[in-house]
Amino acid sequence: MWAAEKQRVLGIVPNFYVIYDRNPEPLTAKLKFELALKTAVDPVTIFGVALVAGLDQAGNTPDYQQGAKGYGQRFGTVAANGSADILIGGAILPTLLHQDPRYFYKGTGTTKSRILYALTRPFVCKGDNGTWQPNYSSMGGDLAAAALENAYYPQSNRGAGLVFGHFALGTAERAVSGLAQEFLLRKLTPNAKDVN
């Protein structure tokens, strides 16, 4: 396996989809699927699913009943959403489109250039050939995961507006994550390989 599979923020939270090395090894199709699976089944990911399901339960969203059955339904939808996004946007589309699903840490330049870089990563990625290109994989993964919600969300929580709203939210989360990667998480990931 490779070094990024050991990267954890504060030694706990998976930080597998970030590359700090300036000359990383490209991901094969097999590695893209292994990385997606490792992320999806990581105990911290599952704990995060349980936490978000609890918050959804407290907020009574989506429109499931309360109690254990409602929590179970919310847990299932959060797990399905995350798994679909990870699998489609992190393995299937990157393999088909020959794109690298990882965030390439910039770490240098002005604050403004690093902010701009981080905010544009949901829309720009490296191809397997090393060139920058539109991030169809990430956007497609967010859109596909949001669209799949229509198959298992309650009728009152379905529709195009909700799909595009969740797509926009997923894209915004990636931009915020990029900012966190550039300015905070590198410092909190002690076992990350240094930038060359």
Q: What residues does 1 pair with on adjacent strands? A: none
Alpha-carbon distance of 137 to 98, in angstroms, equals 9
Beta bridge partners, 13, equal 9
Decide if 98 contacts 188 (C-beta within 8 A).
no
13 or 23: which leads in pLDDT: 13
| Percentage of residues of the chain with pLDDT beyond 70 | 95
Look at residue 23 in the predicted model and tell me its pLDDT. 82
pLDDT band at 61 (very low <50, low <70, confident <90, very high): confident
Q: How many Cα atoms sit within 13 Å of 196 on the Cβ side? A: 5
The DSSP secondary-structure symbol of 92 reads I
Identify the pLDDT of residue 196. Answer: 44
At 150, the pLDDT band (50, 70, 90 cuts) reads confident
Say if residue 20's pLDDT is above 80.
Answer: yes
Read off the pLDDT of residues 62-73 as tens digits, 9 standing for 90 and up.
989 999 999 999
User: What is the Cα–Cα distance from 162 to 189, expressed in whole angstroms?
Assistant: 35
Q: Where are the domains of the chain?
A: 3-185
pLDDT (tens digit, 9 = 90+) per residue, 133-147?
Answer: 999 999 999 999 989
Residue for token pair 């965030």: 103
